Amino acid sequence: MPYFSKASAIIGIIPESLREQIDSIESLELVQLPSAGYEGWNRWIHKAVLCNSSGTFGFTIAEYVIQAILSIYWEADQYKSFQAQNQWNTTRIPIETLRYKNALILGVGDVGSTLASRLKAFGCRTIGLRKKKVEKEGFDRIDQLVNIRTYLPEADLVINCLPSNTDTDDFFQAEMFDLMPSHAIFVNVGRGKFVKTSLLEEVMRKQKIRAMVLDVFEEEPLPPHSSLWNEKSVYITPHISGGYASRYTKDLFAKLVETNLKNLVEHKPFKNQVNRPGFNEGEFGKLDTR
């Protein structure tokens, strides 16, 4: 990469073989990631500004969550089974709707707030939890994450949209699943480290809740030997809910890149900055982007 050592801005994921060289690039002012997550980059970036792509994925992740929940509520797998057998089966299978459901959303950033607005359109009551209280559209109420146990017993849907950091890694514990009603659905579109895979396996093995929707995992790929693969009540996808399969997502990222490159030229503040150049590693990531 002949231009790497002379770059003023780097857009994308820098190959591991080049990351040790980042701080030595005197001309580098901006590193723009194509992901909302930015954990781990404090190892290599101390001088340049680091920006994530928060605000790019909210619409697609919200639609992913809603279609997955509705496929469970409407027993889509059962009807696909009838179709595969060429059966016109008029059996009245009980279904659920989103109307009047209590949705507990962990994280009220772009993904969480976009999802809350969409769920409210279906008639859900939306409660958001985060580290500190803020005002955000789409929520009936927002409270602090430390109060999660207060809300779990009444939650029909528990949806994690939180980023990965020292406060949220391994956050969701067995006692929290115990507090959830047996008809509840647990959704994780935040980060896999939020809950241990072994705990998810145990919860479904004991049928403590109705179902799970899992797009992210503690270990990716999810190991073939995991019992989650064989659970009929678990909806598994390979970390695709926030990807770039949607043209709309690509357009939003392109606009973000255009904005930050323009700001670079005009010496203006960058959008989605997530670090403080010049601070030590312990200070990295303390900007609250949720």
Give per-residue burial for 141-165: e unless 16+ CB within 10 Å, then b: ebbebeebeebbeebbbbbbbbbbb
Q: Which helix (H) or strand (E) holds 198?
A: helix 197-205
Distance, in Å, from the CA atom of 235 to the CA atom of 189, rounded to the nearest integer, reads: 12
Residue 281: CB atoms within 10 A of its CB come to 9
The yes-or-no verdict on residue 282 having pLDDT over 60 is no
Per-residue confidence (pLDDT) for residue 284, from 0 to 100: 45
> What pLDDT band is residue 164 in, cutting at 50, 70 and 90?
confident
6, 73, 161 from 151: Cα distances, Å:
52, 22, 16
Sign of CA dihedral 289, 285, 148, 222: positive
Per-residue confidence (pLDDT) for residue 278, from 0 to 100: 79
Per-residue confidence (pLDDT) for residue 165, from 0 to 100: 85
Question: Which is higher by pLDDT, 283 or 36?
Answer: 36
Which tokens sit at 256? 């973000």
Q: What is the dihedral of CA 24, 30, 33, 39, to 10 degrees?
A: 60
Q: What is the pTM of this model?
A: 0.93
Give per-residue burial for 265-280: e unless 16+ CB within 10 Å, then b: eeeeebbbbbbeeeee
The yes-or-no verdict on residue 137 having pLDDT over 70 is yes
Are 101 and 124 spatial neighbours (Cβ–Cβ below 8 Å)? yes
Are 185 and 105 spatial neighbours (Cβ–Cβ below 8 Å)? no
The yes-or-no verdict on residue 287 having pLDDT over 50 is no
pLDDT in tens, 229-266: 999 999 999 999 999 999 999 999 999 999 999 999 99
Per-residue confidence (pLDDT) for residue 209, from 0 to 100: 98
Mean local confidence (pLDDT), 260-273: 98
Residue 89, judged by CB atoms within 10 A of its CB (0-12, 13-18, 19+), counts as exposed
Q: Which helix (H) or strand (E) holds 248?
A: helix 247-266
Q: For 100, phi and psi rounded to 5 degrees?
A: 75, 5
Per-residue confidence (pLDDT) for residue 1, from 0 to 100: 67
Which tokens sit at 7? 């770059």
Q: Which of 114, 240, 118, 234 is nearest to 185 (CA)?
A: 234
Mean local confidence (pLDDT), 97-103: 98
The DSSP letter of residue 273 is B
Per-residue confidence (pLDDT) for residue 280, from 0 to 100: 57
% of the chain residues with pLDDT over 70: 96
> What pLDDT band is residue 290 in, cutting at 50, 70 and 90?
very low
Contacts of 92 (CB under 8 A, 6+ apart): none
Per-residue confidence (pLDDT) for residue 71, from 0 to 100: 98
Distance, in Å, from the CA atom of 33 to the CA atom of 30, rounded to the nearest integer, reads: 10
Mean local confidence (pLDDT), 192-205: 98
The gap between the terminal CA atoms of the chain, to the nearest Å, is: 34
Computed over every residue of the chain, the mean pLDDT equals: 94
